[in-house]
Amino acid sequence: MRNPVAGRYLGEQWILPRREVLKRLAAGAALGTLGGKWLSATAQDAADGETFWDQVREQFPIRPGLVMMNAANLCPTHYPVLESLFGLTRDLDGDVSFQNRARFAPSKDQARSRLATYVGANPQEIAITRNTTEANNIIVNGLDLGAGDEVVLWSENHESNRSAWTVRARRRGFSVREVETPTGALSADLLRDRFLENLTTSTRVLAVSHVSNISGIGLPMKSLSEACRERNILTLVDGAQSLGALDLNLHDMGCDYFTGSLHKWPMGPKETGLLYVRSGSEDRVWPSMVGVGYDTAEGEGALKFETFGQRDDSAISAIVPAMDLLASIGKERIEARLRALVARLRRGIEAIPGTSILTPADSAINASILIFGLPGITGSDAFEALYRDHDIGSAPASLIDGVRLSPHIYNSMADVDRVLDALREIVGRAK
- The predicted pLDDT at position 3 comes to 32
- Is the pLDDT at 223 greater than 70? The verdict is yes
- The predicted pLDDT at position 297 comes to 85
Report the mean per-residue pLDDT for the chain: 90
SS3 395: strand
Query: Are 173 and 305 contained in the same domain?
Result: yes
406 domain residue, yes or no: yes
- Is the pLDDT at 318 greater than 70? The verdict is yes
Query: Are 239 and 367 contained in the same domain?
Result: no
113 domain residue, yes or no: yes
Query: Are 268 and 392 contained in the same domain?
Result: no
Total structural domains within the chain: 2
347 domain residue, yes or no: yes
Query: Are 179 and 277 contained in the same domain?
Result: yes
Give me the residues paired with residue 370 across strands: 405
The CATH number of the domain where 403 resides is what? 3.90.1150.10
Query: Are 302 and 394 contained in the same domain?
Result: no
What range defines the domain where residue 314 resides?
109-324
Query: Are 255 and 390 contained in the same domain?
Result: no
Closest CA to 243 of 225, 263, 224, 223: 263
Query: Are 419 and 308 contained in the same domain?
Result: no
pLDDT digits (tens, 9 = 90+) for 172-214: 999 999 999 999 999 999 999 999 999 999 999 999 999 999 9
**0.95 surpassed by pTM:** no
79 domain residue, yes or no: no
- The predicted pLDDT at position 10 comes to 34
Confidence of residue 293 (pLDDT cuts 50, 70, 90): confident
Angle between helices 163-172 and 132-142 (to 10 degrees): 20
Average pLDDT over residues 108-132: 97
Radius of gyration of the chain (CA): 22
391 domain residue, yes or no: yes
Give the Å distances, CA to CA, from 375 to 88, 148, 157, 353, 356. Answer: 50, 48, 28, 8, 8
Query: Are 315 and 342 contained in the same domain?
Result: no
Query: Are 422 and 349 contained in the same domain?
Result: yes
Domain boundary among 324, 340, 366: 324
Find out whether 243 and 260 touch, Cβ atoms under 8 Å.
yes
